[in-house]
Amino acid sequence: MIAGDRQAPPAGPAAPRIAVAVTTFHTPQDVVVAMLESLAVAACVCASRWPGVSFDLTLVDNTPGGTDRARLQALLDRFAPGGEGRGVEGRVALSSRLLSGHGNVGFGAANNLALLDRDADILIVANPDLVYEPEAFAALLDVFAREPEAGLVTPAFVEAAGAGQGATARHVSHLCKRYPSFAVLFGRGFLPAGLRRGLSREIAAYAMADKPADRDWWDPPIVTGAFMAFRAPVFRAIGGFDPRFFLYFEDFDISLRAARLTRLHFAAGVRMVHDGGDAGRKGWKHVRMFSASAFRFWAKHGFRLFAVKDTPPRRVSG
């Protein structure tokens, strides 16, 4: 299952305990299988680099009445068997549990249920539509070991550059953002391409197109909720996600709150594939949720009609 020779562990503190939360809502079978398979492989590779590392995976079933319980439990039993001390091919401590029956409480609240009570050193929020590169978790631990100031790490995302171009033809991007304005969010999400050209400079600034995806850098104002790796004391100190954000902008909000306590770090070597999407592609229900969450975000952090710029965090001392 693992290719390559065992590598010596990096110098530094003992290998940490990692808790991963993945929230599902009628997520297709092939998507969950691909995620679990790649997570198991990446966990094994991590254990070869960091002997003694442990993974605690929580799947959160947000379907009403827990209608996905049986299907998700069967997948966990197959790819990430639960129970203390059990693991993938005996090579990594990978325990799991399923939370189900609580209903659709929203993305942020679901991750709070999964992570706030975990006895772990690193807390990871991850979408179900991720496929991890084998070195992803090992590279993540390397970052935390060499960058003690980093309290929240965001990865690089990989996608094929085009059909028929081969496995090496890949595009790597970050999903970091500057503080959003109304004009940029509306133009980016809902205007046709021809009308969007007038906002192209502002949209590029919002998406931090001036920042590289092939090397590390510090202090993105906002990072994506598709994958967030927190030092556990940071996540606990800010109380996790604000549950008032049912869907959308919970990652914007928690990024700004985390930046008041710690530093955010983009890690180019932590890589995975993400199949995301815009609210505008998902129908009017998602457009309404997106809009409601956007105005909730601005009500909490401040409204901007046009300007897009870096917002220095109000760092809390002590």
What single-letter DSSP state applies at residue 84?
T
pLDDT band at 213 (very low <50, low <70, confident <90, very high): very high
In a domain, 252, yes or no: yes
The Cα 219–Cα 316 span in angstroms is 15
Judging by beta carbons within 10 Å of its beta carbon (0-12, 13-18, 19+), is residue 122 exposed, middle or buried? buried
Q: Are residues 169 and 202 in the same domain?
A: no
What's residue 248's pLDDT?
96
Q: State which residues form the domain around 203.
A: 178-210+278-311
In a domain, 121, yes or no: yes
User: How many Cα atoms sit within 13 Å of 182 on the Cβ side?
Assistant: 10
Which carries the bigger pLDDT value, residue 8 or residue 207?
207
β-strands 122-126, 17-24: how paired? parallel
Mean pLDDT of the region 277-288: 67
β-strands 263-274, 130-132: how paired? antiparallel
Which carries the bigger pLDDT value, residue 70 or residue 190?
70
Q: Are residues 92 and 195 in the same domain?
A: no
Mean pLDDT of the region 173-197: 87
Q: Are residues 103 and 169 in the same domain?
A: yes
pLDDT band at 4 (very low <50, low <70, confident <90, very high): very low
What is the dihedral sign for C-alpha 199, 203, 204, 206?
positive
pLDDT band at 163 (very low <50, low <70, confident <90, very high): very low
Looking at every residue in the chain, the average pLDDT score rounds to: 86
What's residue 10's pLDDT?
43
What's residue 12's pLDDT?
43
Q: Are residues 166 and 25 in the same domain?
A: yes
Mean pLDDT of the region 35-64: 95
Q: Are residues 133 and 270 in the same domain?
A: yes
Identity at 191, one-letter amino acid code: L
In 3-state terms, what secondary structure has residue 157? Answer: strand
Q: Are residues 57 and 132 in the same domain?
A: yes
Q: Are residues 206 and 247 in the same domain?
A: no
pLDDT more than 90, % of the chain: 72
Q: Are residues 80 and 195 in the same domain?
A: no
The Cα 273–Cα 77 span in angstroms is 24
68's CB contacts (< 8 A; 6+ apart) are 24, 26, 27, 61, 100
Q: Are residues 302 and 192 in the same domain?
A: yes
Q: Are residues 26 and 162 in the same domain?
A: yes
| CATH number, domain containing residue 55 | 3.90.550.10
Which carries the bigger pLDDT value, residue 80 or residue 265?
265
Q: Which long-range contacts (CB under 8 A, 24 or more apart) does 196-205 make?
A: 202/306, 202/308, 205/178, 205/308, 205/309
In a domain, 157, yes or no: yes
Locate tokens 């956007």: which residue? 294
Distances (CA, A) of 176 to 118, 211, 266: 27, 9, 8
Q: Are residues 289 and 147 in the same domain?
A: no
Q: Are residues 167 and 252 in the same domain?
A: yes
pLDDT band at 5 (very low <50, low <70, confident <90, very high): very low
Mean pLDDT of the region 28-38: 96
What's residue 162's pLDDT?
52
Give the chain's domain count: 2
What's residue 194's pLDDT?
74
Are the C-beta atoms of residues 162 and 276 closer than 8 Å to each other?
Answer: no
